[in-house]
Chain A
Amino acid sequence: DTAVSQTPKYLVTQMGNDKSIKCEQNLGHDTMYWYKQDSKKFLKIMFSYNNKELIINETVPNRFSPKSPDKAHLNLHINSLELGDSAVYFCASSLGTGWTQPQHFGDGTRLSIL
């Protein structure tokens, strides 16, 4: 039973291309997130959505556009990919907002820009 699933697991593409990463959770959670983990393993929040509404955009370039068609899905579209976008992108979800709600992570999508 996959709780938070992301596709694809690996994504190799050329600079300037546009790509999307999909995320789905079957936990019944209301809140979903995108994190970026760079080559130094530093994990940083990019976006969060609560009930399909954007709550956080942590100064992410507008080449990155999240879309949430429903509570169970949060997709990430990236335009005009750059070398610095190479990283592992993790989707996560939590039951709700609030300080007692732990976040559960997907397996990550490793994005490599050639």
Chain B
Amino acid sequence: QKEVEQNSGPLSVPEGAIASLNCTYSDRGSQSFFWYRQYSGKSPELIMFIYSNGDKEDGRFTAQLNKASQYVSLLIRDSQPSDSATYLCASYSGGGADGLTFGKGTHLIIQP
């Protein structure tokens, strides 16, 4: 069974610091990984995705993937109060129009 695990939090980070969000997955066949941000009562919004081992940077966000350890992370530099949200990690295992397998999300709070 495919599973994606995240610490539900809340994770509290001071404004301006680096927020580090972590995710592990069970299916070694997972090919790509997605980070979504979801504000309360809103839809998931794609932040970035990664499918190669290593780091991928986009503005203040860096995704990190380690397939050997089955571990994905998202770093948010210079955290802002507007970054406060639930961050959902998702994996894609392929095989056609497969849906994403989501973790339960980490609730991030950026303290001003």
Q: Do A and B come from one complex?
A: yes
- Interface size, chain B (Cβ < 8 Å): 25
* A42 B97 Cβ-Cβ under 8 A: no
In whole angstroms, how far apart are the Cα atoms of A103 and B45 in the complex? 9
Answer whether residue B71 sits at the interface, using C-beta atoms and an 8 A cutoff.
Answer: no
Given contacts A43-B44, A99-B51, A105-B43, contact A55 B97 (CB under 8 A): yes
Total CB contacts across the A-B interface at under 8 A = 63
Bound together, the chains give a CA A98 to CA B97 distance in angstroms of: 7
Question: Which residue of chain A has its CB nearest to the CB of B86?
Answer: A41
Q: Mark A55-99, 1 if CB is under 8 A from B, else 0.
A: 110100000000000000000000000000000001000000111
The residues of B that contact A105 with a CB separation of less than 8 Å are 36, 43-45
Interface residues of A in 2-47 (CB under 8 A from B): 31, 33, 35, 40-46
Quick check: which of B20-28, B56-64, B101-109 contacts chain A, the rest being far away?
B101-109
Task: Collect the chain A residues with CB atoms within 8 Å of residue B44's CB.
Answer: 43, 90, 105
| A103-B100 CB under 8 A given contacts A90-B43, A90-B44 | yes
**Residues of B participating in the A interface, judged by any CB pair closer than 8 Å:** 31-32, 34, 36, 38, 42-46, 49, 51, 86, 88, 92, 94, 96-102, 104-105
Mark A residues whose CB is within 8 Å of B. Answer: 31, 33, 35, 40-46, 48-50, 55-56, 58, 90, 97-100, 102-108
